[in-house]
Amino acid sequence: MLIIPAIDLKNGQAVRLYKGDYKQKTVYSEHPETLAVTFEQLGASFLHLVDLDGAKTGIVSNDSVIKKIKTLTHLKIQVGGGIRTLETIDYYLNQLGVDRVILGTAAVVDPDFLDAALVRFGPEKIVVGVDIKEGNIATKGWLDTSSHPYLEFLSDLEKRGLTTVVITDVSKDGTFLGPNFEWYDQIKAHTALKIIVSGGIKDQADLDEAALRKYEGVIVGKAYYEGKIDLKEAFLRC
């Protein structure tokens, strides 16, 4: 199972939001590229980046940080946050050298765009972030909630040729309450999509449980920053 450290980017800083609330922000580092180097030294092979500014505006806003990370590490990188055009995908993949992009709002409101992205770049380069809030899909940096039931949405993604999703339970994100594994298992039973768990990871026991349940990967953010997970040990165990 992949353990994927997360860096959420806002105004060039590494931050974390509480339940996606932009008003409840903690700054963890003024230099996210240094964090990325640390993650690689601890044993990471993959990095999860979120452009929080882009998630709100739809405009690439933290590419200078991504360039630094690419220069200083050999990490594979997936990036999400406000990716709503084929040109933006091309910029991330072919100019910044990102390994795959995560589509969120655009995949919900414009399925034709998702189809075009899958055809042009291939399913190995396109991931969809499925952010679930109160049983429905959240969009625009979790600021809006659609009326789209998530299981129906996942079935549609699979039919369109997608292979991997990052699924976030917004109610758990940044809370240290632990993931709702029974909920993730229901999703896993419903679809053949590879599932990357995001939101609520609190300790090594959560990582062990996720590995036991054979998810594709787990994203680790606040639990590392708050000293609740030893990533070096986690990489050795999982």
Mean pLDDT of 189-193: 94
Which pLDDT score, from 0 to 100, does residue 19 have?
58
CB atoms within 10 A of CB 95: 10
pLDDT category, 210, cuts 50, 70, 90? very high
Which of 51, 53, 131, 169 is catalytic? The answer is: 131
> For 88-108, what is each residue's pLDDT tens digit?
999 999 999 999 999 987 888
- pTM for the full model? 0.91
Domain 2-237 has CATH 3.30.2290.10: no
Q: Does the active-site annotation cover 8? A: yes
E strand or H helix at 130: strand 126-133
pLDDT category, 55, cuts 50, 70, 90? confident
pLDDT category, 180, cuts 50, 70, 90? confident
Determine contact, residues 29/13, Cβ cutoff 8 Å: yes
Which pLDDT score, from 0 to 100, does residue 139 have?
59
Which is nearest to 191 in space by CA: 128, 106, 116, 118?
Answer: 128
Determine contact, residues 141/20, Cβ cutoff 8 Å: yes
Domain ranges of the chain: 2-237
Which is nearest to 144 in space by CA: 153, 136, 154?
Answer: 136
What does the alpha-carbon distance between residue 1 and residue 26 come to, in Å, rounded to a whole number? 28
Q: Is the pLDDT of residue 82 over 80?
A: yes
Q: Does the active-site annotation cover 131? A: yes
Which pLDDT score, from 0 to 100, does residue 57 have?
87
- The pLDDT mean for the chain works out to 89
pLDDT category, 51, cuts 50, 70, 90? very high
What does the alpha-carbon distance between residue 1 and residue 214 come to, in Å, rounded to a whole number? 7
What does the alpha-carbon distance between residue 68 and residue 203 come to, in Å, rounded to a whole number? 29
Name residue, tokens 């414009």.
110
Which of 8, 51, 173, 206 is catalytic? The answer is: 8
Which pLDDT score, from 0 to 100, does residue 135 have?
64
CB atoms within 10 A of CB 154: 23
> For 124-151, what is each residue's pLDDT tens digit?
999 999 888 766 676 555 555 556 678 8
Q: Is the pLDDT of residue 12 over 90?
A: yes
E strand or H helix at 96: none
Percentage of the chain modeled with pLDDT above 70: 89
- Crossing angle for the helix pair 150-159 and 181-190, nearest 10 degrees? 40
